[in-house]
Amino acid sequence: MRLGAVSPNYQTAAFKGATFTTSTKNNGNYVEESTLQPFRDNFQDNIAKQKECKDFDSIKANTEMYSLGAGKGSRFSEMAEFQNPQANKISFGMPLVNGSYFHMSDPALALGVPFADGKGVKRKNAEVARGSFAEIVDDAQKLRDAGKPQKNVIVCCGDNLFHTDKKFELNYFMKDVINNPAKQMGLVGVEREPEEVVKKFGVLNVVPTDRDDVMQLDGFVEKPKTIEIAREFETPNGKCIANTGMFVIKAEAMEWLMDELEKDSMFIAKDENEPYDFAAACQKVQEKYGKEKCDVKLVQTWEDAGEPKALYNTIKEMQKGKFLTNFAKDDQKMIQESMKRIFDGKTLLASQAALNEYGTASNYTESDALILPKGIDVKNVDGVNVVV
């Protein structure tokens, strides 16, 4: 499993564990030391010891899982720049009651543990922003240059979190697609109101099957620009199926993609600056193999924590125990308790001193801290109070 890297160019005195970065650059061991190693130390072994992980041994050698974490950080840029004018990205390491930190990438890393080799999760630096599928193409090309067969590829965005009632439910779906000779690709979707997807989420055009939680994929709509377009892709219950960005492409389809890229280097381009886009890759595979060979698994609870309001909501859901199903039971309890201790339910980012004054002041105001005494600097970013 690989995780793209960014560099911690700026560390502020704001909420402990929040690192402000510039995007798409990396400085060697930042991701390794600040994200991956804490995950290994805190959670990896306990996850790997769970009996369900053995169910994936048969496909582990021929499968690579990637957690993508080297985006531009544009959705957090306003909050980051509020802290430091030269920063445009934030990395949150939230304090745990055991003295370590929890990162929003940890649930995605937990999904990867059943597919990891003996060394566990690994890092792959994203040196240059060439698109969300760039590192996957690089690795596929290395296999091709060495005369080796392609592997099944599973991709999950590092800031996407899923809650399922069954442990490793999405992993089992990926395994089923990989083991089914009649399938070439599987994606994960979530129901959203048509109004929610406009200009925000890609939409999957789906065909029902005899299972309530699995549909066939009959095409894509990239972030509908109007509510009218979104409603063209409603399911019978009036919902749209938003694309979460988690998917599996099987080895045969990867081989075909690499053949096509040899003919046309822009075959899966988003634009000239991003020649390797995972949404475009999925669309091409669907067009090649058709709906019968491409499935969509529906989940009930999903958050894209890559923007302030969603991250805020994610933390509040973790206080209820959501998004932690794949962690060992004791670790689930510890993370949940930590989330309850470090957040006041109203403020996303604050120094401890500001939090103390905020708590005192909010007892005497009905404005939800939008107007505070004592000169506390408050900014509302995407509906979230930021106190610094």
| Assessment of whether the complete model's pTM goes beyond 0.95 | no
pLDDT of residue 275: 95
Q: Are 215 and 292 in contact (CB under 8 A)?
A: no
- CA-to-CA distance for 165 and 238, rounded, in angstroms? 24
Tell me how far CA of residue 61 lies from CA of 301, 320, 352, in angstroms.
Answer: 30, 36, 46
Average pLDDT over all residues of the chain: 82
Spatial neighbors of 166 by CB under 8 A, at least 6 apart, are 172, 325
> pLDDT tens across 85-98, in order?
776 666 667 878 88
Q: Characterize the bridge pairing of strands 185-192 and 294-299.
A: parallel
What φ, ψ does residue 282 adopt, rounded to 5°?
A: -65, -40
**List of domains in the chain:** 2-342 (3.90.550.10), 347-387 (no CATH)
Find residue 185's DSSP bridge partners: 249, 294
Determine the Cα–Cα distance for residues 40 and 56; give it in Å rounded to an integer: 19
Axis crossing angle, helix 134-145 with helix 251-263, rounded to the nearest 10: 90
Amino acid in position 171: N
| Other Cβ atoms closer than 10 A to 387 | 25
- Asked if 90 and 23 touch (Cβ cutoff 8 Å), the reply is no
Whether pLDDT at 296 is above 90:
yes
Mean pLDDT value of segment 17-38: 62
CA–CA distance, 305 with 313 (Å, rounded to integer): 8
For 125-184, the pLDDT digits (tens) are 444 568 889 889 999 999 999 999 999 999 998 889 999 999 999 999 999 999 999 999
Please report which helix (H) or strand (E) contains residue 194, including its range. Answer: helix 194-197
Asked whether 21 and 92 are in contact (CB, 8 A), the reply is no
Do 343 and 199 contact (CB within 8 A), yes or no? no
The pLDDT of residue 83:
62
N-term to C-term CA, the chain: 36
